[in-house]
Amino acid sequence: MAVATVTDLGKYEAARLIIDQYIAGEKTLIGMLLDIQEEFNFLPQTVMTAIAEETGIPLAHLYGLATFYDGFSLNAQGRNHIKCCTGTACVVRGSRAILTELILDMGINPGEVTDDDAFSLEAVHCFGACAHGPILVTGEEYHGYVTSAKAREIIGKLRKADEEAGK
């Protein structure tokens, strides 16, 4: 099996511009990975392999960075990535019912992405905000004291924002 190069990226062609900026010295390695993730909502394996090939940086080093920093994801994510706390304090306050509500509403399980790439769902063990549980995180926004009704409202607002943005 041949190693992927930037010219083989297919649907990830936008990565070429980002990688070229790094090679030209305009980007740091972490900056390049952040830009790749912003473009694709995760770090695709094909792109990671191409980065290693084009830059000479060992693939293991790239994956080491990507797995060390929580801000990176190696799994596909939707435009709206929803994280639901399933830690003890949140479960006691009803987060399992909220997670079930999200699964039913979006039609996906944790770790999956909707067919239109609008949503992805993740069950997280703890955000460290137990006093405000149950907690949902959408993007960088924390939502505390969430109920099933509030979860539906949050998803509805995200859908409406996507519609208004033409997505």
For 51-102, the pLDDT digits (tens) are: 999 899 999 999 999 998 877 889 888 999 999 999 999 999 999 999 999 9
In this structure, the number of other CB atoms found within 10 A of the CB of residue 1 comes to 3
CA distance 4 to 10: 10
Angle in degrees, 0-180, between the axes of helices 14-23 and 29-40, rounded to the nearest 10: 170
CA distance 35 to 15: 9
For 89-139, the pLDDT digits (tens) are: 999 999 999 999 999 999 999 999 999 989 999 999 888 899 999 999 998
Is pTM beyond 0.75? Reply is no
